[in-house]
Structure 1
Amino acid sequence: MAKDNEKLSKDLFQPIELSAEKSEELTRPELSFWKDAWIRLRKNKAAILGLIFLVIIFFMAFVGPHMNKYEGTDALYEAKNLPPRVQGLEWMELFDGKHAWYVQGPTSEQAIEKGLSVFKVEDEHVRVTVVSEGNESTGELAEVELYIDEYATRGLEDRYYWFGADAMGRDLWTRVWEGTQISLYIGILAAAIDMIIGVIYGGVSAYYGGRVDNYMQRFIEVLVGIPNLVVVILMIIVLDPGLMAITLALTITGWTGMARIVRGQVLKLKNQEFVLAAKTLGSNDKRILGKHLVPNVTGIIVINTMFTIPGAIFFESFLSFIGLGLQPPFASLGTLIDQAFDSYQIYPFMLLFPSLIISTLMIGFNMLADGLRDALDPKMRD
């Protein structure tokens, strides 16, 4: 190896010119904090899937009610409890506009093999199959199949209720998406108020510390000790049940979690060198909090807010389900589930669609929040 090195000519090596201008030159494109977080978020397939779910639901919540000719408050007695019917999808059992009832027992083919009596009645819109156990004189039924074309029998062949109609004959497609609007409004508004109050309260408490922090934290402990349901009942007693009462009930105690998280982060950062440098340069407390401390905990704030939104939506649905939420004619996902719960065994489609949407919202927000937590954490960088 040494002999090979001796054979190398000095002419093969050329000195590199160094200059003060190139000493600060970057060798790769500069990435901001948020751009770097977005690049890492895109690699998280679960977070992107959750984001797609949320975009679709947000889009349908505002566009869906305008996609058909029915209003959410228009009631038609002849259309009550109609099953879903979608033009072009009648080949699917869920969207064919027919009701089917069964009584457990052997199928028609099994009954014939066993020598049981099988009776069938069929016309254009109704099909009934009855299997009699034993002989015709016993009259004991082992199976009943009943198919009814609800739209045809009620003379509503020209109507298409994509999610069906409720007990008052109102279009569930329109009501479900209007209810999604209200649920999203409550969840996002409550999360925004929680974020604003929590960030200000927690930041001030941690920055000033001492007696100020002690008094402010004792106040939080008092609020945390009050159950949310008690606060809701008090709000409903003072105010009429509705959006205002639910929003106030969610925000009275909801911001305490955000305040505690921000306080913990600010306590870790307020003694760092960049805060000391800002004080040395003459920055006042407001500027230090707003320009230096809060931006450094933005990732934690975003993540906690993303977890707060589904919690607020679920809590509103719970209140509506127990009768403390929105009152007619307003509809949210919780009120729709509450109205469908009493008859879900007979008309399961009334419960299926609002439950599916609220479940997708919960999953989407949590998947996206998990992805943001990893993307905004500097320790997770490759």
Structure 2
Amino acid sequence: MNLMRIPPILRLKLLWVALIIFIFLLGSIAYGFFTAPKANPYTPAGQYAASPYAVPSWASIFYGNLPPDIKVPNDYDLIAAKTASVINYWHLSNFTFNGDAVIIIYNSSYGPKGETNFQKTLYSYGNTGNGSVEIIIEGTNPLNLTLYHDFLYNYLLPRETKFGDYEFYIIQASISAYATNAYYTFNGYVINPSNATFWLFLAGNYLPTNLVTLSTVFKYLGNGGWNYILASSASAGETPWFYTSNIPPNESAVASVIMLQSMFNSTGNYKVEFTINYIPNGPNSKLVVYLSDLYFEFLGSRYGVLGTDNNGASVFAEYSQGGIFDLELAILAGLAIVFIGAVFGLFAGYYGGKLDQILTSFTDFILLLPGLAILIVLITIFQQIFTVFPKDILIIIVLVILSWPPTSRTIRGQVLQVRNMAFVEAAKALGMSNMEIIRKHVLRHVFPIIIAQLIFDIPAVIGIESALDFLGIGILKFPTWGNMLGFSINASLDAPGFAWWWILTPGIALFLLGVSLFYIGEAITRYYGSLVGETH
């Protein structure tokens, strides 16, 4: 004896395959929502999770031991000086040397604020608020203070891989200083295993006379206030190294590649250094320096589940954010399409006669319009007229205007079958009004078909919206699967490996979504369509 009767629709194997595919898509989107960077990948704040065109981490088995992102430090509290252990991390301590006293204090109540030149990306940290290392230097003799930390590079070198030209590194710091009868410079370096030193930035309250050739890259720091400093091999021409490395003029255009390959020319231990050069200039000389956001990152060529795009943005973040956006837009548009189509179909099919002729004629007229062409024209016009409306709202409105007729025809056909059945005639004989019959009997029997139409409309809307984005007239400032496909194809010819991970992700997602929802809707239509008029 069967204790539980399985509904016949759940016995359809194709339905289960479609459900598994659909659930997998939803699960992957949800996983990306919780794990991938939250910032919009099409803005600087969401870019440079790794180097441009970084392959998915799992795909590095095809390319060798590609370097991942290397972060020094790799903990936010240490980067932003939110913990006193930042002092030990950079190997600082109190000491006295040649009559000068150096005092190191962790200051939890003062930190980077108001750094106007700071731009947020996934590799940059600035304006992080309270928390800094306070360094007090007093004395009448010059003194150099060095902060340093080592890291291991044990991967393919940039010159050994076709992704190396896109790799780069950054070094940054937030600094506030107060000098009394004293000059100082603040410098950033990286030292490789061959003991070659690469001078990455120069800042301070004066430029030494022996360094006048570096005046174009010198960053002046006034007394007080926070200053953000960033240097990168991607902008090698803005580093002191560029002017001290004797690069031939004909190679200056590729200085970034030369700098990267010269620094990372072997595996082994590297050292990141920040140096304060204290130069007293009179009695009672004193320098107080506050440091925070001390950070170095090598942006590697393998990253995450789906790699990066041409701006180093996470493709997985684009996929998940685009999937959520596409589904939200499609569900809203689909509900509106089904509502309008259901109203037209119910009234046309139930009442028949002249009302049916009028509604059907209007429906056929909309169907005869060249959909995509009219869609493009209307969106272009609406964008010029309704400038205050977001583009996604305009797309939904135009899609609804042009997409309800097929739903209306389908529901009308089902209502034509239902209205002539015995239970409808019985309801009329009992004196029920037409609206009561439609609401209590007709709608009940065609409701599964309405749900199926909604399921059909969701991938249709996403497909049309994706086509608009692909053509460059839809959503462009926020990820969608359509503009992901368009951007990736445009960039693929110049990308290593044709950026296959970037192209395939939205393409496969659109295909699987369309197939899964089609077969779910088809299963509902076949099953409930065969039961119209029956009690179930």
Asked if TM exceeds 0.5, the reply is yes
Shift of 1:40: 2.6
Number of positions where the alignment pairs a residue of Structure 1 with one of Structure 2: 306
The equivalent of 2:514 in structure 1 is: 362
Give CA-to-partner distance per residue, 1:238-292, whole Å, 9 cap, x none. 2357211211121102111111111122122212221111112221111101111
Shift of 1:78: 8.7
Distance 1:231 1:83 in 2: 37
Contact 1:84–1:95 under 8 Å retained in 2: no
Q: How does 1:333-352 map to 2 (within 5 A)?
A: 333-345=481-493, 346=495, 347-352=499-504
DSSP 3-state at the match of 1:92: helix
Return closer, same or farther for 1:46/1:98 CA change in 2, 3 Å cut-off. farther
Answering whether residue 318 of structure 2 is matched by residue 166 of structure 1, we say no
The equivalent of 2:150 in structure 1 is: none
2:324 to 168, 176, 181: 181
Return closer, same or farther for 1:70/1:309 CA change in 2, 3 Å cut-off. closer
Distance 2:362 2:500 in 1: 47
Distance 2:375 2:459 in 1: 20
The equivalent of 1:210 in structure 2 is: 353
The equivalent of 2:85 in structure 1 is: none
2:343 to 181, 185, 200: 200
Q: How does 1:1-382 map to 2 (within 5 A)?
A: 39-69=7-37, 71-73=39-41, 74-76=45-47, 79-86=50-57, 89=58, 92-93=61-62, 97=66, 124-126=156-158, 146-148=161-163, 154=169, 155-156=298-299, 160-229=303-372, 230-239=374-383, 240=387, 242-328=391-477, 330-345=478-493, 346=495, 347-378=499-530
DSSP 3-state at the match of 2:16: helix
Tell me which amino acid in the other structure corresponds to 2:62.
Answer: E
Distance 2:164 2:480 in 1: 30
Give CA-to-partner distance per residue, 1:266-321, whole Å, 9 cap, x none. 12221222111111222111110111112112233233322222111111111111
Shift of 1:203: 0.7
The equivalent of 2:224 in structure 1 is: none
Contact 1:193–1:251 under 8 Å retained in 2: yes
Higher strand share: 2
Distance 1:90 1:30 in 2: 46
Return closer, same or farther for 1:198/1:277 CA change in 2, 3 Å cut-off. same
Give CA-to-partner distance per residue, 1:167-218, whole Å, 9 cap, x none. 2222221111100111112222222111111111111112222121121122
Shift of 1:379: 6.7
Return closer, same or farther for 1:158/1:207 CA change in 2, 3 Å cut-off. closer
Report which stretch shifted further, 70-79 or 231-240.
70-79
Return closer, same or farther for 1:157/1:77 CA change in 2, 3 Å cut-off. closer
Return closer, same or farther for 1:78/1:170 CA change in 2, 3 Å cut-off. closer
Return closer, same or farther for 1:196/1:92 CA change in 2, 3 Å cut-off. same
Distance 1:207 1:320 in 2: 39
The equivalent of 1:103 in structure 2 is: none
Shift of 1:162: 2.8
Give CA-to-partner distance per residue, 1:60-97, whole Å, 9 cap, x none. 323412214563332446945232343xx466327965
Tell me which amino acid in the other structure corresponds to 1:283.
Answer: M
The equivalent of 1:10 in structure 2 is: none
Distance 1:323 1:29 in 2: 56
Contact 2:60–2:302 under 8 Å retained in 1: no
Identity %: 24
Shift of 1:332: 0.5
Tell me which amino acid in the other structure corresponds to 1:125.
Answer: L
Q: Which runs of 5+ in 2 are unaligned?
A: 69-154, 170-297
The equivalent of 2:143 in structure 1 is: none
The equivalent of 2:198 in structure 1 is: none
DSSP 3-state at the match of 1:370: helix
Report which stretch shifted further, 149-158 or 54-63.
149-158
Shift of 1:51: 0.7
The equivalent of 1:21 in structure 2 is: none
Higher helix share: 1
Return closer, same or farther for 1:290/1:157 CA change in 2, 3 Å cut-off. same
Contact 1:340–1:350 under 8 Å retained in 2: yes
Tell me which amino acid in the other structure corresponds to 2:483.
Answer: T
Report which stretch shifted further, 284-293 or 53-62.
53-62
Contact 1:75–1:168 under 8 Å retained in 2: no
Distance 2:167 2:52 in 1: 14
Return closer, same or farther for 1:45/1:28 CA change in 2, 3 Å cut-off. closer
Q: Which runs of 5+ in 1 are unaligned?
A: 1-26, 100-122, 129-145
Contact 2:366–2:402 under 8 Å retained in 1: yes
Return closer, same or farther for 1:80/1:262 CA change in 2, 3 Å cut-off. same
Distance 1:124 1:95 in 2: 7
Contact 1:198–1:259 under 8 Å retained in 2: yes
DSSP 3-state at the match of 1:292: helix
